[in-house]
Amino acid sequence: MVYANQQSYYDAINKSSDIGNSGPFIDFMLEEILNALVGHQGKSNAEIADEKGLNHQQEKVLD
């Protein structure tokens, strides 16, 4: 989730540190979570696991 947007992740951390407020980092993380949820909307756990290349043990975590 964050790996694909590493620079934005670090930018959010730095901005939060600069202003002494965690708001920018929280906003970034909530946006990433929302994007992940929307991107997987309507898919079964098995479809998500297959898409991500997860093994059976990792797929069980989704359940």
Ranges of each domain in the chain: 3-62
pLDDT for residue 1 is more than 80: no
6-63: per-residue pLDDT in tens?
999 999 999 999 999 999 999 999 999 998 888 878 888 888 888 888 887 887 777 7
pLDDT at 29: 94
Taking the C-alpha atoms of residue 30 and residue 24, their distance in angstroms, rounded to an integer, is 10
Taking the C-alpha atoms of residue 39 and residue 19, their distance in angstroms, rounded to an integer, is 32
Judge if pTM exceeds 0.85: no
Task: Pick the closest to residue 62 from 45, 42, 47 (CA basis).
Answer: 45
pLDDT at 59: 74
